[in-house]
Amino acid sequence: MTNSSRLRHSNIVQLYDTFDEKQNVYLVMELVTGGELFDRIVAKGSFTECDASILMRQVLEAAAFMHENGVVHRDLKPENLLYYDQTEDSKIMISDFGLSKIEESGVMATACGTPGYVAPEVLQQKPYGKAVDIWSIGVITYILLCGYPPFYDENDANLFAQIIRGEYEFDSPYWDEISESAKDFISHLMCCDPEQRYTCHQALAHPWISGDTAGTKDIHCLVASHLKINLAKRNWKKAYNATTVIRQLQMLRLSSQAASTSTND
């Protein structure tokens, strides 16, 4: 609550007040009525790379403001990106700061987030910082341009292993019409090494965001058809418990070590 209330930005849902009772806490939030990001895109009649670029510029500007104020969201995902109202040119808003944290010491260690959007360093139980939000923005951008996630597996341990290794592709034919600039932009955001990953300001300076390299071809049919299929999948909307994730990763390592020992024998 404190993190949200300290952030006054046109693309961040505002927390106006709180009221406490014995068993309840009531939050007075800014009214946002435009609906979730992907739901609106599915309902649109057209959608282009240029549209995606405009959306992600707003998200990056809000994230840059958060980071400048020492706040890391830690759970950026489509469900937390809301349109302000129902108008065609509505701005996008970042919401739900329930997992956000002030980066006081420069690093954090608690595993949290949502499968499919969480950065490799979180899953590796390494200290992490603002760069985890950039990774999530890269994943969201990827999905915006094709309609399906870069990482997916019904088994969480396999999913996390994919993310840790950074195993994703710009698959043909779905990415054939997407610009090389868009792919380059995503690659800089979804870089496994957080030290090499773009900052918000570097991302905002990329030609796909600040220039005119974003494509203008209508990709709505392809994106919307994939979104309709994938939005219902379990791993997209399931929050996970950090202890469970760590246990699954440990089991994955033990399984790998056992297989290696068996091979050597």
| Catalytic positions | 75
DSSP element (H, E) containing 224 = helix 220-230
Q: Taking the CB of residue 3, how many other CB atoms lie within 10 A of it?
A: 19
Residue 238 to residue 95: CA distance in whole angstroms: 17
Q: Taken in order 61, 196, 79, 26, is the CA torsion positive or negative?
A: negative
**Nearest residue to 164 (alpha-carbon basis) of 245, 52, 70, 86:** 245
Distances (CA, A) of 240 to 38, 80, 112, 244, 250: 21, 16, 7, 7, 16
Please tell me whether residue 108 adopts helix, strand or coil conformation: strand
Q: Taking the CB of residue 110, how many other CB atoms lie within 10 A of it?
A: 12
**DSSP code, position 190:** S
**DSSP code, position 36:** B
